Structure 1
Amino acid sequence: MSETTYQLIAIAIYLAAMLAIGYYSFKRTNDIDDYMLAGRGLKPGVAALSAGASDMSGWLLLALPGAIYLNGLMEAWIAIGLTVGAWLNWKFVAPRLRSYTAVSQNAITIPSFFEKRLKDNSHFLRIGASVIILAFFTFYVSSGMVAAGKFFESSFGWNYYNGLVVVAVITLAYTLFGGFLGATLTDVAQGLLMFAALIAVPIVTFIEIGSFNEFSTKIAEIKPEALNLFASFDGNTHWFLAAAAIFSTAAWGLGYFGQPHILVRFMALRTPSDAKVARRIGVGWMILSALGAVATALVGIVYFADNPAKDLEDPETVFLILSQIFFHPLVAGFVLAAVLAAIMSTMSSQLIVCSSALVEDLYNIAGRKLTPKREVALGRSGVLVVAVVAALLALDRSSSILDLVSFAWAGFGAAFGPIVLLSLYWRKLTSMGAFAGMITGAATVFIWGNIDILHNAMYEIVPGFILNLVVAVLVSRATYKPNALIDEEFSAMEAEIEENAPYVAAK
Structure 2
Amino acid sequence: MSDHTWYILAIIIYMGTMLAIGYWSYRQTNQYDDYVLAGRGLNPFVAAMSAGASDMSGWLLMGLPGALFVTGMSELWIAVGLVAGAWANWKWVAPRLRSYTEVANDSVTIPSFFENRLGDKSRALRMVSAIIIVVFFTFYVSSGMVAGGRYFESTFGGDYLDGMLIVAGITVMYTFIGGFLAVAYTDAVQGTIMFASLIVVPVMALLYLDDPSSIWTWATSNDYGPYTSGEGNPGYFSMITGVSAAAIIGNMAWGLGYFGQPHIIVRFMALRSAKDARTGRFIGIGWMMFSIAGATFVAIVGTAFFGQNPDISIVDQKSFETIFLDMGRVLFHPLIGGLILTAVLAAIMSTISSQLLVSSTSLIEDIYMVFAKSKPSERILINLSRTAVVAVAVIAGVLSINPSDSILGLVGFAWAGFGAAFGPLVLLSLYWKRLNASGALAGMVTGAVTVFVWGSTSLGDLIYEMVPGVIVSTVVTVVVSLMTKEPDDRIQQEFASVAQKAS
TM over 0.5: same fold? yes
* Structure 1 counterpart of 2:224: none
Matches within 5 A, 1:237-316: 242-314=244-316, 315-316=320-321
Structure 1 residues 212 and 172: alpha-carbon distance in aligned structure 2, compared to 1, 3 A threshold: same
* Structure 2 counterpart of 1:328: 333
Matches within 5 A, 1:1-150: 1-150=1-150
Give 1:383's aligned amino acid.
V
Structure 1 residues 287 and 26: alpha-carbon distance in aligned structure 2, compared to 1, 3 A threshold: same
Residue 227 (structure 1) shift:
1.5
Residue 431 (structure 1) shift:
0.4
* Structure 2 counterpart of 1:448: 454
Residue 482 (structure 1) shift:
4.2
For residue 125 of structure 2, give the secondary structure of its aligned residue in structure 1. Answer: helix
Q: Return the match for 1:476 from 481, 487, 490.
A: 481
For residue 192 of structure 2, give the secondary structure of its aligned residue in structure 1. Answer: helix
Matches within 5 A, 1:447-466: 447-451=453-457, 453-466=458-471
Give 1:200's aligned amino acid.
V
Would you say 1:223 and 2:233 are equivalent positions?
Answer: yes
Output the CA distance in 2 between the equivalents of 1:415 and 1:232: 32
Give 1:41's aligned amino acid.
G
- Identical residues among aligned pairs (%): 53
Give 1:185's aligned amino acid.
Y
Structure 1 residues 396 and 224: alpha-carbon distance in aligned structure 2, compared to 1, 3 A threshold: farther
Checking the alignment, whether the CA contact within 8 Å between 1:49 and 1:282 is kept in structure 2 is yes
Output the CA distance in 2 between the equivalents of 1:342 and 1:54: 7
* Structure 2 counterpart of 1:415: 421
TM-score (norm 1): 0.94
Checking the alignment, whether the CA contact within 8 Å between 2:435 and 2:487 is kept in structure 1 is no
Would you say 1:424 and 2:430 are equivalent positions?
Answer: yes
Would you say 1:394 and 2:400 are equivalent positions?
Answer: yes
Would you say 1:366 and 2:368 are equivalent positions?
Answer: no
Structure 1 residues 161 and 415: alpha-carbon distance in aligned structure 2, compared to 1, 3 A threshold: same
Deviates more, 1:70-79 or 1:417-426: 70-79
Residue 401 (structure 1) shift:
11
Give 1:209's aligned amino acid.
L
Checking the alignment, whether the CA contact within 8 Å between 2:60 and 2:295 is kept in structure 1 is yes
For residue 204 of structure 2, give the secondary structure of its aligned residue in structure 1. Answer: helix
Output the CA distance in 2 between the equivalents of 1:403 and 1:283: 29
Deviates more, 1:369-378 or 1:105-114: 369-378
Give 2:186's aligned amino acid.
T
Checking the alignment, whether the CA contact within 8 Å between 2:215 and 2:303 is kept in structure 1 is no
Output the CA distance in 2 between the equivalents of 1:402 and 1:56: 17
Give 1:376's aligned amino acid.
I
For residue 225 of structure 1, give the secondary structure of its aligned residue in structure 2. Answer: coil
Checking the alignment, whether the CA contact within 8 Å between 2:215 and 2:300 is kept in structure 1 is no
Give 2:396's aligned amino acid.
A
* Structure 2 counterpart of 1:339: 344
Give 1:206's aligned amino acid.
L
Output the CA distance in 2 between the equivalents of 1:112 and 1:258: 14
Structure 1 residues 144 and 165: alpha-carbon distance in aligned structure 2, compared to 1, 3 A threshold: same
Output the CA distance in 1 between the equivalents of 2:212 and 2:338: 28
* Structure 2 counterpart of 1:492: 497
Alpha-carbon displacement from aligned partner over 1:159-190 (angstroms, at most 9, x marks no partner): 22221111010000000111000000101111
For residue 270 of structure 1, give the secondary structure of its aligned residue in structure 2. Answer: coil
Gaps of 5+ in 2: 222-231
Give 2:252's aligned amino acid.
A
Checking the alignment, whether the CA contact within 8 Å between 1:10 and 1:333 is kept in structure 2 is yes
Residue 304 (structure 1) shift:
2.2
Output the CA distance in 1 between the equivalents of 2:339 and 2:152: 14
Checking the alignment, whether the CA contact within 8 Å between 2:41 and 2:270 is kept in structure 1 is yes
Residue 195 (structure 1) shift:
0.4
* Alignment RMSD (CA, Å): 1.6
Output the CA distance in 2 between the equivalents of 1:19 and 1:79: 32
Checking the alignment, whether the CA contact within 8 Å between 2:214 and 2:304 is kept in structure 1 is no
Checking the alignment, whether the CA contact within 8 Å between 2:435 and 2:486 is kept in structure 1 is no
Give 1:97's aligned amino acid.
L
Residue 390 (structure 1) shift:
1.9
Give 1:123's aligned amino acid.
R
* Structure 2 counterpart of 1:503: none
Gaps of 5+ in 1: 234-241, 499-507
Residue 230 (structure 1) shift:
1.0
Residue 479 (structure 1) shift:
0.8
Output the CA distance in 2 between the equivalents of 1:193 and 1:491: 43
Residue 381 (structure 1) shift:
1.3
Structure 1 residues 367 and 299: alpha-carbon distance in aligned structure 2, compared to 1, 3 A threshold: same
Output the CA distance in 1 between the equivalents of 2:311 and 2:411: 32
Alpha-carbon displacement from aligned partner over 1:355-381 (angstroms, at most 9, x marks no partner): 111000000011333111111111111
Deviates more, 1:432-441 or 1:288-297: 288-297
Residue 139 (structure 1) shift:
2.2
Output the CA distance in 1 between the equivalents of 2:487 and 2:249: 39
For residue 322 of structure 2, give the secondary structure of its aligned residue in structure 1. Answer: helix
Alpha-carbon displacement from aligned partner over 1:267-286 (angstroms, at most 9, x marks no partner): 01111111001100000000
Alpha-carbon displacement from aligned partner over 1:358-414 (angstroms, at most 9, x marks no partner): 000000011333111111111111111211222233334565999564321111101
Checking the alignment, whether the CA contact within 8 Å between 2:139 and 2:407 is kept in structure 1 is no
For residue 424 of structure 1, give the secondary structure of its aligned residue in structure 2. Answer: helix
Equivalenced residue count is: 489
Residue 329 (structure 1) shift:
0.2
Checking the alignment, whether the CA contact within 8 Å between 1:144 and 1:401 is kept in structure 2 is no
Would you say 1:187 and 2:187 are equivalent positions?
Answer: yes
For residue 105 of structure 1, give the secondary structure of its aligned residue in structure 2. Answer: coil
Output the CA distance in 2 between the equivalents of 1:70 and 1:161: 30
* Structure 2 counterpart of 1:200: 200
For residue 394 of structure 1, give the secondary structure of its aligned residue in structure 2. Answer: helix
Structure 1 residues 145 and 180: alpha-carbon distance in aligned structure 2, compared to 1, 3 A threshold: same
* Structure 1 counterpart of 2:226: none
Output the CA distance in 1 between the equivalents of 2:203 and 2:17: 27
Structure 1 residues 473 and 493: alpha-carbon distance in aligned structure 2, compared to 1, 3 A threshold: same
For residue 385 of structure 2, give the secondary structure of its aligned residue in structure 1. Answer: helix
For residue 120 of structure 2, give the secondary structure of its aligned residue in structure 1. Answer: coil
Checking the alignment, whether the CA contact within 8 Å between 1:195 and 1:289 is kept in structure 2 is yes
Checking the alignment, whether the CA contact within 8 Å between 2:450 and 2:468 is kept in structure 1 is yes
Output the CA distance in 2 between the equivalents of 1:443 and 1:205: 46
Output the CA distance in 1 between the equivalents of 2:467 and 2:46: 31
Residue 317 (structure 1) shift:
1.6
Residue 421 (structure 1) shift:
0.3
Alpha-carbon displacement from aligned partner over 1:276-324 (angstroms, at most 9, x marks no partner): 0110000000000011111112222322222333332421222111111
For residue 464 of structure 2, give the secondary structure of its aligned residue in structure 1. Answer: coil
